[in-house]
Each structure stands twice: as C-alpha cells, then as structure tokens.
Amino acid sequence: MNSVNPTADQVDETPVFYLKEEPHHAPGTLLGFWIYLMSDCLIFAALFATRAVVGSNYMGSPLPKDVFNIELILVSTFCLLFSSITYGFAVLQMQQNKVNGTLMWLAITGLLGAAFIGIELYEFNHLIHAGASPQSSASWSSFYALVGTHGLHVSFGLLWMVVLMVQVKMYALTVANMRRLFCLSMFWHFLDLVWLGVFSLVYLTGVLL
C-alpha cells in the first residue's frame, strides 16, 4: 500500500492563533450589570412598599420626629450627593487617560462615602439608645431593613472602589479597568437615587408627620 505524502503545495500554511482565554465583550458586561441593577430595584421596591405599609405602626415606641437628628441626616445626604459629583469628575479624568486625576477623585468619593456610612452608624447607635431599636415596632423594623440595606450597598461600593483604585494604580487605565469603573459609576449613581427616595419617604415624612 502506497502512502501519499503531501507536497509543499498541499500543505496548509495558514497560521493558527490560539487565545489563552475567551474574548470579553463589553456590551455583554454592561447588559449583565443593568440586569443586576434591575434586580436591585426590585429589592428596594419591596422594602419601600413594606415601609409604606407599616411605617405608621409604632406601638408605643419613639416617634421619628422625637429621635431623628434631621440636621445630621442632611449632612450625610449632602456627602452622598456630592460623592456622585466627584465620581463624575473621576470619570472625566478617566476619559482623558489621566491616572493620577482619576485616583484623586476616586479617593475623594471614597472619603465622602465613608463619611456617609460613619454618620449612619452613629445614627443607628443613637436611635437604639433612644428606644427605637429594630425590635421596638414594625415601623422601626422596616426602617432598619430599608436604611440598613442601602448602607450595605454603599459599603460594598466602597470596597469595590478600593479594589479598583489598586488595579488602576498597578495596571493603569486599561480597557477592562475603564469598563469596571463605568459599572461602578452606574452602581454609585443608582445608590444616590435610592437614597433620595429613602430621605423623602423615611426622614422627611417622619419629621413632618
């Protein structure tokens, strides 16, 4: 039996390239993150609905207008709102490929977010000592569930921000890092919008009624 050896003309010399990992598509990442934000909207919608239903059920526990420090809450609100502006400056620096400027504005954003969390923890401690604990009534349970869930999201955002700052410092503004910063930007602005609803429904309503 004769073996057939391929001639030089029959050999396929087309170069073959192998990827170490599958290519990552930015549109897929952004779409997935939008889906996540929509699921978060459902969580907060349920918490807002619960607060609206049981918000007036205090059962002899302290009323919000007697224990809320609205001036301190305004300070924390402005911290969070200004952090959204400073994150916008970070994005502008990122688009100009300025690493140091991006890191500086991210650090300012992180400090404002940390101040917000610090004030919230102080407020929780004050309310519990004033008798407005989560076990005191259904209204206060819904308060801690809503405000606490938002605070956990802000804390997670701060952790995410620190990780991204380390990555930007190590690897500069790569395409992947810019995509991650943009996703965190959407998350951070989303939390600001949720807080405006919390401030209106919980704090303003509680002080005025």
DSSP 86-112: HHHHHHHHHHTT-HHHHHHHHHHHHHH
* pLDDT recorded at residue 58: 84
Instruction: Label residue 42 by pLDDT band (50, 70, 90).
Output: very high
> What is the sign of the dihedral through the CA atoms of 204, 206, 208 and 209?
positive
Query: Which distant-in-sequence residues (6+ apart) come within 8 Å of 108 by Cβ?
Result: 83, 86
Residues 47, 141: contact at Cβ < 8 Å?
no
Over residues 177-193, the pLDDT tens digits come to 999 999 999 999 999 99
CATH classification for the domain delimited by 70-208, as one of 3.20.20.70, 1.20.120.80, 1.10.287.610, 3.40.50.300: 1.20.120.80
Q: Which pairs with CB-CB distance under 8 Å and at least 24 residues apart come from 184-187?
A: 184/87, 184/157, 184/160, 185/87, 185/88, 185/91, 186/33, 186/34, 186/37, 187/33, 187/37, 187/153, 187/157, 187/160
pLDDT reading at 24 higher than 70: no
> Domain locations in the chain?
70-208
- Mean pLDDT in residue range 160-179: 95
> What share of the chain has pLDDT > 70, as a percent?
86
pTM: 0.85
User: Rounded to whole angstroms, how far apart are CA atoms 176 and 67?
Assistant: 46
Q: How far is the C-alpha of 78 from the C-alpha of 116, rounded, in Å?
A: 9
